[in-house]
Structure 1
Amino acid sequence: MNKIQTEKYGPLTDVIFSETFDNGVLKGCAFEGKNNITTPIGILVPSYGPSNIRNREGLSLEFFKSGEIKSIDLETATEVVTPLGLISAERISFYENGSIHRLFPLNGRINGYWTEENEYSLAKPMAFDLPIGSFSAKAVSLCFYESGALKSLTLWPQEIIEITSLDGLVKVRYGFSLYENGTLKSFEPALPEPITTPVGVIIAYNCKAHGINSDENSVTYDPHGQLRSLLTSNSGLLISNAAEKNLIQPQMKPGEIDPEIMIPEPMSIIFHDNKLEIIHDDIVVVDLNRSEVRSILVHDPTEKACGNCSECSHCG
């Protein structure tokens, strides 16, 4: 087996595959045997040996061009010290300064033989005590700022929690993100959620939301606690000025799985001091000094909008 000498982490043995950057610096490698890697958070063992029904294939140890560790897939779940205490992890990515960037309690490969439900059954609830609320939930990943502050929490799709937003208590699916000082930056509503905006109450909900990560979500706030943007599948905006009235609303479009069934296409609304942007098929910019804008319910969240539950979660 190959042996590779690294400047910062010493010799790597039993290397069965490796990649390098254009300048020849080691980019990453896979292993046949055990290696102990001394990292900023302790000694960790990257995954090695043949893959099984759950293990991911590919590079189990990756580096930045500087030679610092970038990510590691662990051979076994390992408790590591984080800014939130001891957390069991199967995958960890790092900032170049050595602090934790993203941590995954589980890192199984979802495929035809190992399903999301199989992986979810292995997940264990974690307790959180944050400025936005205290709760227990199963997490897909935790993302941190370089300072160590929690940046975002991504939940398993089966999980729903309750947190405090600027509109009061809200139920959240998939997760949320925070500013470095701990204030709420964004969240994904678990149900169609009435949000107070400069143009009235708008039902915030993204019927096509996914849980890849929760760095960005359907409802976002600026660092000063003002609403910045939201996605809606239920509300339209009636825009009136001296010349005309125009209703802009989420459009019903053919589903990706069954094109014969129509589902709502979420509409994005971005708020500025004296204007707003509406993004659906086109981008419409509305000057609030020249036009009156009023929100209108166009798809009742208490009724099925499309009848195709396999393609969206519009009904909550």
Structure 2
Amino acid sequence: MSEFKSKYGVIKGITRASYYPDGQLRECRLVEENRISTEAGILIPKYDFYETRTKSRNAMEFYASGELKSAYLEKRQQIETPFGKIMAEMVTFYEGGSIRRVFPTYGQISGYWSEKEEGDLLEGIGIQTDRLQINAKLSCISQYPSGKLKSLTLWPGETVTVDTSYGPVTARIGISLYENGVIKSLEPSRGTPISTLAGEFITFDLNAMGIHGDRNSLCFYENAAIKSLTTMHSGIRIAGDGKMETITPVLVPSMADIEIMVISPIKINFGEKGLAVTDSLGGKHLFSEKEYEFTSFPVSFGQSSPPVFAD
């Protein structure tokens, strides 16, 4: 065991540490209680690593400047955020000291500890901004250096309703915002009709990855206009120069089982000069708004409607 004199006082009980070339502490584990004063309040980094759900990671990490980068907490504790007091188990920071991400729980999901057991530790968290009001179980809250809300990652199975310029949309997985509070993106929990200049599209991505809420399949510009969407149940018809072209989702072999066919969606980006369409196989197609006309149409694969995630 050793100790280190940091900007946060003397850190005691250090084990398995690494250092920057100049001797500044980069990361460490601990076997003694330490109390660290931060913008999130007084934090107690983890020093007992023998719990079933404890992740194998450092208790503390630092920037080369000596500023705290992250703290994995001994137990869930109440911290101060711009959105009120929140119970957290892991906190990361920008180099300037402001909170970057808050994780209400940070347990290791395994054969010894289930996702349900981890979720049972959570309570609903109320988040309110000028344009967003929710109360749900969250796995991560991200903010800008200014303290403004950047994104929310919902706990698996959680859904919330978000008001957009295209009407209310029920979201799963995550929601991201611009720094001015305008909704930047969200992940629809069901097939949701969105009216655009190219027609109405049923936006939904069954294969959306639920890693974090920063990037989602339904995206908006900062003026709240539609930027891009992903659809499994709509196609687009492009007409111009005496030609007609259609791009639709297609069935492809599942990556998990090649004998099972799954729908591979298409993505449509709405730019100032036209549309950029990414087809189901990843091909890129650019169409000028001045040269082409666009029409949407429904696509069916033997089911009456897209899958719906329970609210």
Counterpart contact for 2:48–2:74, Cα < 8 Å: no
In the alignment, what sits opposite 2:4?
4
Instruction: Provide the rounded CA distance (Å) in 1 between the counterparts of 2:203 and 2:102.
Output: 29
How far does residue 300 in structure 1 lie from its aligned partner after superposition?
A: 6.2
Aligned to 1:114, the other structure's residue is in SS state: coil
C-alpha distance after superposition, 1:27-77 (max 9, x if no partner): 110011211112233221100123321011121101111110011010011
Counterpart contact for 1:234–1:301, Cα < 8 Å: no
C-alpha distance after superposition, 1:175-213 (max 9, x if no partner): 211111211111110101111112011111111112211
In the alignment, what sits opposite 2:144?
145
**Percent identity between the two aligned chains:** 35
Aligned to 2:223, the other structure's residue is in SS state: coil
- Equivalent AA in structure 1 for residue 97 of structure 2: G
Aligned to 2:120, the other structure's residue is in SS state: helix
Change (3 A) 1:167 1:22: same
In the alignment, what sits opposite 1:256?
255
C-alpha distance after superposition, 1:151-180 (max 9, x if no partner): 111101211111101111111111211111
In the alignment, what sits opposite 2:170?
171
In the alignment, what sits opposite 1:242?
241
Instruction: Provide the rounded CA distance (Å) in 1 between the counterparts of 2:4 and 2:43.
Output: 18
- Equivalent AA in structure 1 for residue 27 of structure 2: G
- Equivalent AA in structure 2 for residue 157 of structure 1: P
In the alignment, what sits opposite 1:28?
27
In the alignment, what sits opposite 2:53?
54
Counterpart contact for 1:267–1:278, Cα < 8 Å: yes
Matched, 1:298 2:299: yes
- Equivalent AA in structure 2 for residue 288 of structure 1: E
Instruction: Provide the rounded CA distance (Å) in 2 between the counterparts of 1:315 and 1:169.
Output: 16
Instruction: Provide the rounded CA distance (Å) in 1 between the counterparts of 2:20 and 2:111.
Output: 33
Change (3 A) 1:146 1:23: same
Instruction: Provide the rounded CA distance (Å) in 2 between the counterparts of 1:70 and 1:301.
Output: 50
How far does residue 21 in structure 1 lie from its aligned partner after superposition?
A: 3.1
In the alignment, what sits opposite 1:310?
none
In the alignment, what sits opposite 2:273?
274
Aligned to 1:284, the other structure's residue is in SS state: strand
Gaps of 5+ in 1: 306-313
In the alignment, what sits opposite 1:17?
16
Aligned to 1:203, the other structure's residue is in SS state: strand
Counterpart contact for 2:252–2:262, Cα < 8 Å: yes
Instruction: Provide the rounded CA distance (Å) in 1 between the counterparts of 2:224 and 2:245.
Output: 30
Q: TM-score by structure 1 length? A: 0.92
Matched, 1:286 2:284: no
Counterpart contact for 2:45–2:73, Cα < 8 Å: yes
C-alpha distance after superposition, 1:227-280 (max 9, x if no partner): 111111111111112342111112211112221111111221111112111113
Instruction: Provide the rounded CA distance (Å) in 2 between the counterparts of 1:304 and 1:202.
Output: 13
Aligned residues: 307
Change (3 A) 1:116 1:81: same
- Equivalent AA in structure 1 for residue 121 of structure 2: L
- Equivalent AA in structure 2 for residue 231 of structure 1: T
Gaps of 5+ in 2: none
Change (3 A) 1:133 1:38: closer
